[in-house]
Amino acid sequence: MARHNIVFGRDQAVQGGTQYSAPRFGQPAQAAPAQNTQWSSGFERQGAGAPVAPGADPLEAAYARPAATGFDTGRMTLKDALNAITATLGTIIVVGAAVALLPLVLGIVGGEAGAQLGLVLAGGATLIGVVGGLVAALVNIFKKQPSPLAVLAYAVFEGLFLGGISATMEYLYPGIALQAVVGTLAVAGTVLVMFRMGILRTSPRLNKIFFVAMVAYGLFLVVNLVLALFTGGDLRSGLFGLVIGGLAVVLASYSLVMDFEDIQHALESGTPRVYAWRVAFGLAVTLVWMYVEILRILAILRGD
């Protein structure tokens, strides 16, 4: 997995370093012993790793045992990945929607003064989200073992950030936040469908181009930030801003393909279940980036 997305660069388990051998016929899985469940009849559950009832034929009991599942072996399953992804993205959406609606709700209650208060609160949420999201992202990237709490904390901060900037942009350009959401879902859905059809795949050469482009994009952001702080200028505007935004969406789309391949590789290589939160974190990082870039492109178009 780590051969792709930089988020997984420190995870040896997802690189195939930690493998779980499939159980042989008639043998329990090579994992932590399964807990025995006592049934009302007094017999223990005849599952993987459970002892055979007294007097039972061992060969017949071996045939009767169910196949070992991801729960029995401790390996990540598709259900684990989907649960972690749903929890992470769901937290971002709920927190983001609550913050984004602040100006509208307070405007209904208190008129223009309430709307202005909502914008101030949204601006504060944006600042908290930027700082907290950066810290939480670094913690998740450099943490050796994935932590659900750390991933969910990142989701909360990103929800504050996205909700804050969405509220501000929605006040300036009504309807832009919904357009950005629809655009993000359209791009991500298209990438997913084309990935499932086998059309979109990564390659070593494309990966090198991607990482070089990412470095160049990062340097551009730094230059643009310095220019904005000292001169008030902005390179992310007009036609040039649209070109940069379009290239950023392309990079985010390729990163999304990497994320899908990382999830696929984790499922095939027997990655431990806890790493479902790592793949959820990587996917959230990409989708947040894609949404911000699409929102910026729409703002440029609406501002002209």
Give the model confidence (pLDDT) of 219-250 as tens digits.
999 998 898 888 877 888 889 989 999 999 99
- Number of domains composing the chain: 1
Domain assignment of residue 115, yes or no: yes
Strand partners, 272: 75
% residues pLDDT > 70 (the chain)? 76
4: helix, strand or coil? coil
Domain assignment of residue 297, yes or no: yes
Residues 151, 155, 158, 160, CA torsion sign: negative
Residue 99 has pLDDT above 70, yes or no: yes
Of 32-46, 60-74, 182-196, 221-235, least confident by mean pLDDT is 32-46
169: helix, strand or coil? helix
Please tell me the predicted confidence (pLDDT) of residue 235.
Answer: 83
Residue 268 has pLDDT above 70, yes or no: yes
- How large is the C-alpha radius of gyration of the chain? 24
Which comes out higher in pLDDT, residue 241 or 154?
154
Strand partners, 75: 272
pLDDT band at 35 (very low <50, low <70, confident <90, very high): very low
Domain assignment of residue 210, yes or no: yes
Domain assignment of residue 45, yes or no: no
In angstroms, the Cα distances linking 35 to 28, 42, 275, 303 are: 13, 15, 22, 62
Q: Nearest-CA neighbor of 278 among 90, 143, 77, 92?
A: 143
Domain assignment of residue 202, yes or no: yes
Task: Identify the domain containing residue 183 by its residue range.
Answer: 72-303
Domain assignment of residue 29, yes or no: no
Please tell me the predicted confidence (pLDDT) of residue 59.
Answer: 55
% residues pLDDT > 90 (the chain)? 62
Hey, which bits of the chain come out as E strands?
none
CB of 233 closer than 8 Å to CB of 227:
yes
Domain assignment of residue 113, yes or no: yes
Domain assignment of residue 58, yes or no: no
Q: Which residues have C-beta within 8 Å of that of residue 115, sequence separation ≥ 6?
A: 103, 104, 106, 107, 171
Q: How far apart are CA 133 and CA 151, in angstroms?
A: 10
Q: For 131-157, what is the mean pLDDT?
A: 94
Q: Which two three-digit tokens encode residue 54?
A: 């007294």
